[in-house]
Chains A and B, each alone.
Chain A
Amino acid sequence: MNEKTKFWVLLGLLVLSIALLVYLSTQSSNVLLG
């Protein structure tokens, strides 16, 4: 794999990692009973 391909793969993984963190930060489980 050349360096340019590696760059795009790593950039994609970084975006996915940040997206997961943002997703988890916006999630709030429903505490309430019922």
Chain B
Amino acid sequence: MRRVNFVLLGLIILVNLYTIALPFLPNIGYWWHNRGGDKPVSVAAYIKKTTNSSNPNEDTSGNRIIIPRMSLNTPLLEGPKSDSFNLLKAGAWHLPFSTDPTQGGNMVVAAHRFSYTGPRGLFYFLDKLQVGDEIGVQWGGKLYHYQVASTRVVSPTEISVQGPTDDTRLTLYTCTPLFNPVNRLVVVAKPVDEGATP
């Protein structure tokens, strides 16, 4: 019985360590990836790098968002607002009432900051983005380049950030802070060019 109790105690410690440590683990990977200083990468270089090193069977066609600073190259999911729960659980959701890169106006993409189930929060590192960082949107076979123009924290009721705009912009948002996410972190990026073949 003593041995069984010892095993149970070990299991309790393991389960709780996993629960506590999991939200911090992405930071360790980020630190390791960016060790040795700041290494901003261009969108084109990041696409080349991830295409070479990723699974050759992975489908990298279709509409995608590429953010080198966040080591992110992921599909943009499309779907109605009524299905937002499942779409956000699955990845980065292009809000259907916003525009796309070919239309001008405000293109809005939202994703979770962190979740215990995969994918573990695609916008976990959204707070790492800095003004001037490059963002790419692969849309309809063309690559559209954006540069981060501003980042700010707003309350969840501030719906104006996802409303239509006169200028062309890309708006990304997620929950913040990481724990007890009572606000939203909003990143606005402005286009750099009209779109090129990736």
Contacts and interface: CB of A to CB of B under 8 A. Distances in A.
Contacts of A32: 84, 88, 110
- Chain B interface category by residue count: 35 or more
Interface in A1-34: 3-4, 6-7, 10-11, 13-14, 17-18, 20-21, 24-34
A7 B1 contact: yes
Contacts of B157: 33-34
B116 A13 contact: no
Contact of B5 (A7, A29, A33): A7
B18 interface: yes
Given A17-B15, A20-B19, A31 B5 contact: no
Contact of A11 (B2, B8, B181, B184): B8
A29 B19 contact: no
A11 B11 CA distance: 10
B110 A3 contact: no
Given A7-B1, A33-B173, A28 B8 contact: no
Interface of A: 3-4, 6-7, 10-11, 13-14, 17-18, 20-21, 24-34
Name the 7 nearest CB pairs between A and B, nearest first. A10-B8, A3-B1, A25-B116, A17-B15, A34-B159, A33-B159, A24-B116
